Amino acid sequence: MTDKVVEKVAVQTEESRSQSRRAFLKGGAAVAGGVLFTQAASAREIQFDPKRAVAPYAGREEITTVLQDQSARKALGWGVRQYPYGMPSPFEKEVQRRTLEWLTPDSMASITMTPLQSLHGMITPNGLHFERYHGGGININPDEHRLVIHGLVERPLIFTMDDLKRFPAESRVLFAECPANGAMEWKGVQLNSVQWTHGMMSCVEWTGVRLSTLLKEAGIRPEGTWLIPEGADASGMARSIPVELGMDDCMIAYAQNGEALRPENGYPIRLVVPGCEANMWVKHIRRIQVTDKPLQHREETSKYTELMPDGTVQNMSFYMEANSVITYPSPDFKMQGPGRYVAKGIAWSGRGKVDHVDITFDGGRNWTEAKLTSAVLPKAWTRFELEFDWDGSELLMMSRTTDETGYVQPNMPQMREIEGTNNVYHRTAMVTWKIHAHNSEFGGMIENVQF
Ligand SMILES: Nc1nc2c(c(=O)[nH]1)N[C@H]1C(S)=C(S)[C@@H](COP(=O)(O)O)O[C@H]1N2
Ligand SMILES: [Mo]
């Protein structure tokens, strides 16, 4: 380019810049064809407010030292193509699904729980999805796997995995929660981490075929009132599901978060029963038998039943109640000293959308409504946040969800009044995090206490 051309280009750029600037000023914030800035920050808004400071003031020398220490690397980096399937940073290696040895000493019957304390947003990464097996995991060759629909139907059917993918697909963000979530906390507090108090649950985007589409293709006979899905693994996992529930919003899913199901979550296909106990979400599903009565299978008699205070047993519980937990600050963290914090957590309800979440810092005397900070989808995790100033005194933090049906999450005394102390499942009452006073022996530590 000659000097002249360069000059011309420069002038043009300058001109077009001032042109678009004029358009911007003329149209206010909105410019034809789209919004450039919804709100220009006023000088007052970006002024320093000492009350909100999180990081301490840094001097010129400190800044120089930090920048020099973190200067650009002198050597070339590593070849990313060596890792065709990406993994998290090695510095995140402590973020893992974990199990409690005493809970499932037999390695085949496993429960590994999701590290909720390390998650952000409303999606659980596939490698951290909790896992529960009654008889160990299996690897299934999808070319050999079949889904059979039989029993009280007009046309018994056998689907290959390719057949299933020819149907319209549906993707939905949904939580899956084992009703044993929180079970270890029924009689009193036991464990100091949200991974243990609430980690038998995850939330991912499931993709698959609506179950009703397949059932309609088979045609349910008028006497057919129950569905009995069964898994292909050693546990022969089965649960009885009323036909109306199966015809509602259930899915046969083949993908989670955009990729094929993980082996431990049911590859190549699993049943998804939105909002309901995860034990109904039969993995490696191989058949659905249509019957005229529930099966009273092992998994709905000896397990997943609730022993009531009067000694009777309640079975066939389906939906998971509204629930919530503060994941930060929570027992895995320690307060950094008095100042500004944001309480962050997850709320969910098997009956639909979260309506609102309230937070208390004084064990339930005063409540403040939190802000919902994610999409609010039915039967999915919903994120909430609330800013607070910690003056260093002892706090008793709890969160309480109200769902769209008007159901309000109970506290533990309220829950015990109805359910007694013999039950194991559906412990969905609030938990309490005690923040120890800054100047106390356990200054700033966070403890699970029962309230
Ligand atoms: N085939 C089969 N499906 C199963 C199970 C099983 O052991 N085998 N466990 C059930 C239970 S008890 C739960 S809580 C959920 C857990 O789903 P996840 O392992 O994908 O998190 O799967 C359910 N489906
Ligand atoms: Mo479960």
pLDDT in tens, 296-326: 888 888 788 888 888 888 888 899 999 999 9
The answer, yes or no, to whether any atom of ligand 1 lies below 6 A from the CB of 278, is yes
> Do 306 and 326 reside in the same domain of the chain?
no
Return the best residue to mutate from 113, 133, 288, 318 for the ligand 1 pocket (most ligand atoms within 8 A of CB). Answer: 133
> Do 230 and 363 reside in the same domain of the chain?
no
Of 152, 146, 150, the closest CA to residue 164 belongs to 146
What separation in Å is there between the alpha carbon of 131 and the centre of ligand 2? 9
Assess whether the previous peptide bond of 331 is cis (omega < 30° from 0).
no
The answer, yes or no, to whether any atom of ligand 1 lies below 6 A from the CB of 300, is no
pLDDT digits (tens, 9 = 90+) for 206-215: 999 999 999 9
Of 13, 449, 429, 361, the closest CA to residue 182 belongs to 429
User: Range of 186's domain?
Assistant: 111-314
Helical spans, DSSP H, in 81-190: 161-165
The answer, yes or no, to whether any atom of ligand 1 lies below 6 A from the CB of 137, is no
- Residue 60 placed within a domain: no
What separation in Å is there between the alpha carbon of 133 and the centre of ligand 2? 8
- Give the model's pLDDT for residue 108: 73
- Residue 238 placed within a domain: yes
pTM of the model: 0.89
The answer, yes or no, to whether any atom of ligand 1 lies below 6 A from the CB of 283, is yes
Q: Indicate which residue's Cα is closest to atom 16 of ligand 1.
A: 132
Q: How far apart are alpha carbons 414 and 412 in whole angstroms?
A: 5
> Do 309 and 397 reside in the same domain of the chain?
no
Select the highest-mean-pLDDT range: 23-32, 69-78, 101-110, 128-137: 128-137
Do the Cβ atoms of 168 and 213 come closer than 8 Å? yes
Q: Which of 314, 331, 365 is the last residue of a domain?
A: 314
> Do 187 and 271 reside in the same domain of the chain?
yes
Mean predicted confidence (pLDDT) in 148-165? 98
Site of tokens 């769209």: 404
Of 320, 410, 328, the closest CA to residue 364 belongs to 410
Pairing of strands 285-291, 147-151: parallel
> Do 334 and 294 reside in the same domain of the chain?
no
Q: How far apart are alpha carbons 327 and 349 in whole angstroms?
A: 17
Q: How many domains does the chain have?
A: 2
Q: Which of 291, 314, 337 is the last residue of a domain?
A: 314
Q: Which of 262, 279, 314 is the last residue of a domain?
A: 314
* Domain containing residue 328: CATH number: 2.60.40.650
- Give the model's pLDDT for residue 22: 43
Do the Cβ atoms of 326 and 345 come closer than 8 Å? yes
Q: Indicate which residue's Cα is closest to atom 14 of ligand 1.
A: 178
Q: How confident is the model at residue 278 (pLDDT cuts 50, 70, 90)?
A: very high
Q: How far apart are alpha carbons 225 and 316 in whole angstroms?
A: 14
CA angle 256, 258, 259 (to 5 degrees): 75
Q: How confident is the model at residue 24 (pLDDT cuts 50, 70, 90)?
A: very low
Q: How far apart are alpha carbons 415 and 429 in whole angstroms?
A: 6
Do the Cβ atoms of 129 and 206 come closer than 8 Å? no
Closest listed ligand to the CA of 279: 1
- Residue 62 placed within a domain: no
> Do 259 and 333 reside in the same domain of the chain?
no
Q: How confident is the model at residue 72 (pLDDT cuts 50, 70, 90)?
A: low
> Do 147 and 269 reside in the same domain of the chain?
yes
> Do 174 and 246 reside in the same domain of the chain?
yes
- Give the model's pLDDT for residue 52: 74
- Give the model's pLDDT for residue 190: 85
